[in-house]
Structures are given as structure tokens and as C-alpha cells.
Amino acid sequence: MKRFIQVCIVIIATSAVAAFAQGGQGTREIPYEAVPNFLKMPPNLHMGEGIGVARDSKGHVYTYTRSGATRLFEFDEKGNFIREIAPGSYAMEMAHAVRVDAQDNIWIVDEGTNMVVKFTPDGRAALVLGRRPDPFDGLPTVQPGT
């Protein structure tokens, strides 16, 4: 396996060097338009540190944030706040990534709970992978009578 990874790294590095040597020919510019203050939060909520951003087939934007509390927000295609998904969820402690699949299911990866959760488009948890570490794991145990 180690050899396979080394070969992959060499292939990727060689491709990057070749593309750079060609002066970037064959690479195309990705058009974009910057929109300041696109996401509009309600007055009682704060975005915090944005860790992950994803978009569904309707153009809705999902942000997975961490700053104090880890939260998953949904906005419409114009940046208007729609809802918070699973507020206070046991699966959310330290956001890592959010993705939306072809069926518009929302997937979160949380590095604080070691969990991956799939939410349906209506915000219900449909699949949970992994488990939150037990807070007592690794603590020394005392046998009765010792």
C-alpha cells in the first residue's frame, strides 16, 4: 500500500509540473462573481467560523460552522436564511465538512464526534456512521476494595 501511495504522489507531481511547464495551457479560468454579504442571518443567530459549504440542485447553500456551537444552516439561492438543521444535535461538536448528494441529501462529517450523518432534504437524520467517543474512555478504573 505504501508503494501505491508513493506512485500516486509521483504521478500527481509529474502532472502538475507538466501543466506548469506548459504555461497553464489546457487549464481554464473558472468564472465567478463576488457578492459581499450574500448570506443573510436572522438577528438572533451568528454564522461563526465557516468550515464547510455545499449547494443542492435547487441552488440552496448549506454552511457547516463551528464557533462555540457547531451548526448547520440552510440558505436559499438568494442567500436568505431558511433554517438550522438539527440544532443541538448529539452528532455535532466540531464541524469538518458538508456535502450534498445527487438526491439532495445533506451529509456532514464531524471530527469532534467521529461521526458522519446523512440528513434527508427535509432535515431528518437518515443514516449515522461512527460514534461519539465515550467521555470515560481512557480514564483509569479503580477496582472495588483496592
The domains of the chain, with CATH numbers, are 38-130 (2.40.10.500)
* 13: phi then psi, degrees, rounded to nearest 5: -65, -40
- Cell 456535502 locates to 99
Mean pLDDT (the chain) is 84
Within 8 A by CB and 6+ apart from 9, the residues are: none
pLDDT value of residue 101: 97
Q: Residue 21: is its pLDDT beyond 60?
A: no
Within 8 A by CB and 6+ apart from 131, the residues are: 113, 114, 115
Pick from 135, 76, 134, 73: nearest CA to 98: 73
Do 92 and 113 contact (CB within 8 A), yes or no?
yes
Q: Residue 81: is its pLDDT beyond 90?
A: yes
pLDDT digits (tens, 9 = 90+) for 89-132: 989 999 999 999 999 999 999 998 999 999 999 999 999 999 88
pTM given for the model = 0.71
* pLDDT confidence tier of residue 18, bands split at 50, 70 and 90: low
pLDDT value of residue 1: 54
pLDDT value of residue 15: 58
Mean pLDDT for the stretch of residues 76-93: 94
pLDDT value of residue 16: 56
Q: Residue 144: is its pLDDT beyond 80?
A: no
pLDDT value of residue 20: 58
